[in-house]
Amino acid sequence: MSYVTKICIALFALLLSGQNASASMDCEGTFPNFITDVCWSCAFPIELGTVPINITGSSGQETTVDSGVGAVCICGINPGVTISFWEPLRDIDVVRKPFCMSTLGGVDMNPGFDAPHGTQTKKDNSDMTSFYQAHWYVDPLMQLLQLVLDSRCIEQKGFDVAYLTEFDPLWNDDEMTAIINPDSFLFGNLPAQLACGADCVMSSAGFGSNTLYWCAGCNGPLYPLDGHVASHIGGVQASSLIAQRLTAKMHREGLMTAANGPNGMCGYYPQLLMDKTGYKYQMLFPVPQSVIGNLCCQPFGRTTIVWGADKEIPGVGEDYQYLLFRKRDCCQGYF
């Protein structure tokens, strides 16, 4: 083989590898199909007063224990009946490429802003670390689809791209993010991390523990509230952890309110320390989460072993979309 031929082959191989590297960072996503992709049974159980309401296929859905609200209620001078359900209302992108709007169909909206790209890096020849960007969408499906009309218990907002971590200097800096979560220094030790094993067990059997609020169950530590995953086991595990961190970050910054329990009966209230038992979530992309044992969503922290199989597709399925369901306890007035 001549020297010139060898050079041509080498250049072609280099060009091909460059194209593959570029393709691996393409923006992937899709518009969710609200009929076939959304786990509507996750909105159940619905309780009217103290009477549970179920439809075919919705029985057996997980919910929190009695939140301490009665069957009847009053807000101001308007008496009513208590209603409890799980409302789908936020979307989360977890992506490798900055400004990749996966929920908007995989649109690359980079304005030329220099933001860190997602990475997966070997550490000590064994552990894998990773970094992702994330996006927070306001998407109250019940309101937008007008599934429930004239009810103050449904969030009255329109669709909005509300938060992009690319513009957040705290998202890429473990030390700087301590500005909003200084308590993270209390849990960077072995005993605190070992305690997360109990949260893993609890969240895999039901809901996690708010006492162990620094843990994200089996997915890893909730702190720091940024995009760095110190122990990357797989894309589903890492992206689930990022989704939980972003939700906790929205609470810590006062951008997300709580709606469950007695305090939520007459409206939303601030909650700087996220109640992990107030959320369930499901994957929408790359593979809409299918029914497993009558369930197609799960509480924060549940091990991805039981629901994450075949949910990561090399190249085309390494960006993720999640839909959040928030627990809503509300006083539905008679007037």
pLDDT band at 283 (very low <50, low <70, confident <90, very high): very high
How does strand 298-299 pair with strand 279-285? antiparallel
Give the pLDDT confidence score for residue 33 in this predicted structure. 92
CA distance 119 to 290: 28
Cβ neighbour number for residue 157 with a 10 Å cutoff: 13
CA distance 106 to 99: 10
Give mean pLDDT, residues 98-108. 96
How deeply is 138 buried, as exposed, middle or buried, from its count of CB atoms within 10 A (0-12, 13-18, 19+)?
middle
Which stretch, 8-17, 143-152, 250-259, 292-301, has highest mean pLDDT?
250-259
DSSP state of 78: E
CA distance 330 to 265: 4
Is residue 81 within 8 A of residue 332, CB to CB? The reply is: yes
> Which run of H or E residues covers position 22?
helix 3-24
CA triplet 23, 315, 288: central angle to 5 degrees?
130
Is residue 245 within 8 A of residue 313, CB to CB? The reply is: no
CA distance 292 to 267: 34
Q: pLDDT tens across 44-102, in order?
A: 989 888 788 877 666 788 998 766 678 899 998 889 999 999 999 999 999 999 999 99
CA distance 146 to 140: 10
**Residue 232 corresponds to which tokens in the numbers above?**
């990357």
CA triplet 252, 255, 260: central angle to 5 degrees?
80
DSSP state of 289: P
**Residue 91 corresponds to which tokens in the numbers above?**
């979307």
Q: At 260, which amino acid appears?
A: N
Q: What is the DSSP string of 269-283?
A: EE-SS--GGGEEEEE
pLDDT band at 210 (very low <50, low <70, confident <90, very high): very high
Cβ neighbour number for residue 47 with a 10 Å cutoff: 19
Residue 310 has pLDDT above 80, yes or no: yes
Prediction pTM value: 0.89
pLDDT band at 293 (very low <50, low <70, confident <90, very high): confident
pLDDT band at 208 (very low <50, low <70, confident <90, very high): very high
Give the pLDDT confidence score for residue 327 in this predicted structure. 96
Q: pLDDT tens across 155-184, in order?
A: 999 999 999 999 999 999 999 999 999 988
Give the pLDDT confidence score for residue 57 in this predicted structure. 62
3-state secondary structure of 265: coil
Give mean pLDDT, residues 228-241. 96
Q: pLDDT tens across 1-11, in order?
A: 444 334 333 43
Among candidates 184, 209, 201, 229, which has minimal Cα distance to 320?
A: 229
Domains of the chain: which residue ranges? 25-333
User: Taking phi first (over 0 means left), then psi (-120 to 50 degrees means alpha), and beta for anything else, what does residue 99 get?
Assistant: left
Residue carrying the six token digits 């101001």: 76
CA distance 128 to 237: 12
Is residue 177 within 8 A of residue 223, CB to CB? The reply is: no
